[in-house]
Amino acid sequence: MYKPYSPEWHRHRYLKEAIDKYLDDYVDPGIILDDIRSILNARSEAAYQEFTRINQLEHYLSEE
């Protein structure tokens, strides 16, 4: 496993706690998958918006 209190250990612990909460609450697997997809989509959209903003700035800088 991971060294106690390392960043990896904390990530594993938080993920386990989240999964345990879904299972303890008897959440339908489809909802769990939808939540995961929603989180990943939000993260992807934010990254794309940042990429677009930086790309636009690079374009402006290359014009000068």
- Under the banding of pLDDT at 50, 70 and 90, the label for residue 1 is confident
pTM: 0.77
Spatial neighbors of 32 by CB under 8 A, at least 6 apart, are: 22
Does residue 1 lie within any of the structural domains?
no
Provide the token pair at 16. Answer: 């386990």
Distance, CA of 50 to CA of 54 (rounded, Å):
6
Number of domains in the chain: 1
Determine, yes or no, domain membership for 14: yes
- DSSP 8-state class, residue 6: S
In a domain, 55, yes or no: yes
pLDDT digits over 22-60, tens only?
Answer: 999 999 999 999 999 999 999 999 999 999 999 999 999
> Domain span at residue 40?
7-63
Contact predicate 7/17, CB 8 Å = no
